[in-house]
Copies of this chain bind each other. A is one copy, B any other.
């Protein structure tokens, strides 16, 4: 899909279709394609794009998401674009009194994931740059996605709205946590290794006269141990700290 990249995409299963209704600028369509590709969405449908399709001003902004642009489907009317769809989400910036479920992007993603997993064909509608979705398009939807933003500055551009909804969709996929934390490279240190480090540290600190006078030593030792325990030491950390002790001892030896 993405050219020469040898990594595997996280999903092969079809995600929701992204339906842009009366999008105006080719650049924005391209930016939407990029945002979709970032989050594993590959199916874009355009309804009555202002400047027709294909539109070569989309490509530079797609930033190599050519695989999304190359399979865009174009429709004259919203109802045609939704003919094979079973559950439709309308993304709106404004409140509409429509008596249908209103989801945040986070809630919508969970709902969508369950539907897609059950084999339902889902689509997410986004309106044009100027006016967003018109009421008829919202009526055609089963649910509304409302992106919460600062009431004094709530205007998101089209690609940003697609990005946020795509981002939430992606978070619901299996394997995302492994992307973020792909196995800890150095495992947490065992208590015995940490105890051994503390004993050596305290022994050397005592030799250096730091843990003095003796009646204050227990409290000082506790303070020192607390500092290092807060770190959540790994095996590698303990080795590094042992090296630091060795280095500092050598320097002390030089001076004496």
Q: Does A244 contact B (CB under 8 A)?
A: no
Most chain B CB inside 10 Å of its own CB: which residue of A7, A38, A147, A236 = A38
Q: Does A206 contact B (CB under 8 A)?
A: no
| A8 x B151 contact (CB < 8 A) | yes
How many identical subunits does the complex contain? 2
Q: Does A246 contact B (CB under 8 A)?
A: no
| B179 x A38 contact (CB < 8 A) | no
- Chain A 16-42 interface residues, beta-carbon cutoff 8 Å to B: 35, 37-40
| A97: chain B residues within 8 A (beta carbon) | 185-186
Interface residue stretch chosen among A52-60, A70-78, A160-168: A160-168
- Chain A 145-175 interface residues, beta-carbon cutoff 8 Å to B: 146-157, 160, 163-164, 167, 170-171
| A7: chain B residues within 8 A (beta carbon) | 151-152
Interface residue stretch chosen among A98-106, A194-202, A207-215, A220-228: A98-106
Q: Does A83 contact B (CB under 8 A)?
A: no
A156 and B167 alpha carbons, distance in the complex (Å): 11
Q: Does A2 contact B (CB under 8 A)?
A: yes
| A179: chain B residues within 8 A (beta carbon) | 146, 148, 151
